[in-house]
A and B are shown apart, each in its own frame.
Chain A
Amino acid sequence: MVHTTSTKTEVMRIFSTGLLGLVAATSIGFITPSVRADVTSRSSSSNSATASDGSSVNQTTRQTNIIRSDGTGNHTSTQDSRVSGSASGENNRIDQQINQYSDRDRRGDSTNSVTRQNAQSDAVTNGADNRIQHQIDQFIRRR
């Protein structure tokens, strides 16, 4: 009987010490993350052109987002680019080029990252011997 009482006391003591330790760990910052600094990088571009008879249209968009972080916050990188061109008549040339590059180098942990690249290229010709060339290059690197 005496032995049972002693065991109960010991269990209660271990339980209370555990709770105390959890509170201590929380206050030190092990469980609750410290202040975080979020990073957002956004690029947007829109380009349109019209040509006629023997014209040449070059439309180029280049977007570069680079994030260097210590890894204590969330990262968001968005790149939007739209190019549209039209030509009527003969011997027109439309060149459309979109280049999107995103690079993030982080140190540390506790980071969520979302990267989005949207590129849209439209061209319309009405006539003879016209040439349209689209080129879209998208590159994302996460380290």
Chain B
Amino acid sequence: MTTIKSTVKAGLVGIIAAAGFGLLALPAKADEINQDSVQTTIQEGVGNTSVQQSTQNAEIDKSERRFGRRGDAGRSSRDVINQTSDQLTDQFGNGNTSVNQNTQDARIRRDRDVFNRR
């Protein structure tokens, strides 16, 4: 009987210890978004028109529950959004028209429940 009690106690102590070390914290869940856009126009002659439009929209919306220790980089999530747009118009001649338009929107929104130990 004493042995059983001791074993149960041991398990509880160990789990509490593991939580104390941050081992029970949720592992990282990181989002990485890469958007690349390339538009190229080459026109040779007279009275030509070029219109380039690019729209990039990236959105990360998440709820995060983290219970690890403060400063433990391995357990915090790191979200990254990279947006690149290249627009090139090369016109040779008279009376040519070029219009370039680029719109980029990026948003990261988190709802977090963090219980850090000091």
Q: Please list the residues of chain A having a beta carbon within 8 angstroms of any beta carbon in chain B.
A: 14, 16-25, 30-31, 33, 71, 109-143
Contact = CB atoms under 8 A, between A and B. Distances in A.
B36 to A, nearest CB: 5
A29 to B, nearest CB: 11
Interface residues of B, number: 52
A17 B10 contact: yes
Per DSSP, chain B at the interface is: strand
A24 B14 contact: yes
Contacts, number: 178
B29 A109 contact: yes
Contacts of B52: 133-135
Per DSSP, chain A at the interface is: strand
A110 to B, nearest CB: 5
B45 A119 contact: no
Given A25-B24, A132-B50, A134-B53, A123 B41 contact: yes
Contacts of B42: 123-125
B40 interface: yes
B48 A129 contact: yes
Nearest to A95: B51
Contact of A142 (B17, B45, B54, B59): B59
Interface string B47-62: 1111111111111111
Name the residue in B7, B26, B32 with the highest tally of chain A Cβ atoms < 10 Å from its Cβ. B32
Contact of A134 (B16, B51, B56, B59): B51
Contacts of A113: 29-32
A16 B24 CA distance: 20
B55 A130 contact: no
B44 A125 contact: yes
